[in-house]
Structure 1
Amino acid sequence: MAGLDFIALGLLVLLLLPVVVIDLRESRIPNLCNLALGVVGLAQALVRSPTLQTLGFTVGAGVVTFLLLAGTAWLMQKIDRHARIGWGDLKFLTAASLWVGVQGSLIVLVLASVAALAATLALAPWRGVKWREMRPFGPALAFGLLVVTVTVFIRGAPGV
């Protein structure tokens, strides 16, 4: 990893901390946190490769991710009215795609889902398991984005 990668990771951690804390306290991810995450993700992509093509691909990744996940959320609601993805989570994944691309943001979602399930099962002896209970997903999303971003930076690729 280059020096720029360490700076970007440091900024990412600073941006993820309020996401985790606020989501744990208030069960929401503020728009300002998602906006900051997206703007810094776009900026780091442009610093790595300052071209119009990078701008187009990065913004395009955000649009495709949003449309894909919003469509999935809509379909989930049609199949089961209790199933849902929070809009803050959806906007977080859209902002994450500016860091790691469309594929990377979907990997973030999978990692976050596995981490959230593992945490739920680990806490089950003390809290019990209520499968329909809404829980803050921001900490798991932050974990997933950090893992995928580190992986991308180690591989030296601009996105997954």
Structure 2
Amino acid sequence: MDHTTSLWIIQSILILALLYLAYVDWRSFRLPNAITLPLIFLGITINLVPDLRFVSASSAILGAALGYGSLWLLNAGYRLLKHRNGIGMGDAKLLAALGAWLGWGALPSILLIASIAGLLGGIAWLLLHRHRLHQAFPFGPFLAFAGIIELLWPQLIPTTILPRLI
């Protein structure tokens, strides 16, 4: 099998896994460890293979650590202020998986895309559910959506969107 076909198959598997996780989170407000944890280890493993990797192994490992750690810290700060969780740790594991696959450099774009999409989705959610502000809202589908965009169009934010905003 040639290099291009192998990469296409690997990207397709990642996209299918992200779509599945988005669906499950949207329906159940849960991101199962049975999918997110293997996705983290698979992302790091793929990036150890020179012919298949998306980023260097060190970028993948750092991406997994920063992906999880950033949302863990955000939640810890929220918990200190509000005495309850603000984001699920499944979201942190999903961001860790995206960092493991796409490297630490992709995390800012993923978080930006997911946050903007989540904000727009949250406004729609509030309008549809009659402004119930304390109702839970899944963030995983927006992380998955952002991960797919970053996988398929990795330079979208830095080359297309940011220059128009600055």
Q: Larger relative contact order (C-alpha < 8 A, sep ≥ 6)? A: 1
Partners of 1:122 and 1:71 lie apart in 2 by 27
User: What's the CA shift for 1:146?
Assistant: 0.3
Matches of 2:127 and 2:62, distance apart in 1: 44
Per the TM alignment, residue 141 of structure 1 is displaced from its structure 2 partner at its CA by 1.2
2:34 aligned partner? 32
Residue 94 of structure 1 contacts residue 105 of structure 1 at CA under 8 Å; is this kept in 2? no
CA distance in 2, matches of 1:112, 1:44: 24
Distance 1:25 1:122, change over 3 A: closer
Q: Normalising by structure 1, what TM-score?
A: 0.78
Matches within 5 A, 1:5-154: 5-48=7-50, 54-82=56-84, 84-152=86-154
Asked whether the 8 Å contact 1:5–1:153 carries over to 2, the reply is: no
C-alpha contact (below 8 Å) 1:15/1:36 kept by paired residues: no
Query: Following the alignment from structure 1 to structure 2, what is the Cα–Cα distance between the partners of residues 50 and 18?
Result: 23
Q: CA deviation at 1:31?
A: 0.5
| C-alpha distance in structure 1 between counterparts of 2:126 and 2:77, whole Å | 30
Aligned length: 152
Offset, 1:57: 3.4
SS in 2 for 1:47: coil
- TM-score, scaled relative to structure 2: 0.76
C-alpha contact 1:109 1:141 (8 A) present in aligned 2: yes
- Superimposed CA distance per residue, residues 64-111 of structure 1 (whole angstroms, 9 cap, x where no aligned partner): 332233222212222333561111001111111011222312322221
What amino acid sits opposite 2:138 in the alignment? P
Corresponding letter in the other structure for 2:44: L
* Contact residue 21 and residue 140 of structure 2 kept, 8 A: yes
Quick one: distance in 1 between partners of 2:66 and 2:144? 20
Question: Does the C-alpha gap of structure 1 residues 68 and 137 become closer, same or farther in structure 2, counting only changes over 3 Å?
Answer: closer
Whole-Å Cα distance in 1 between the matches of residues 139 and 40 of structure 2?
18
RMSD, aligned α-carbons: 2.7
Distance 2:83 2:108 in 1: 23
Percent identity at matched positions? 25
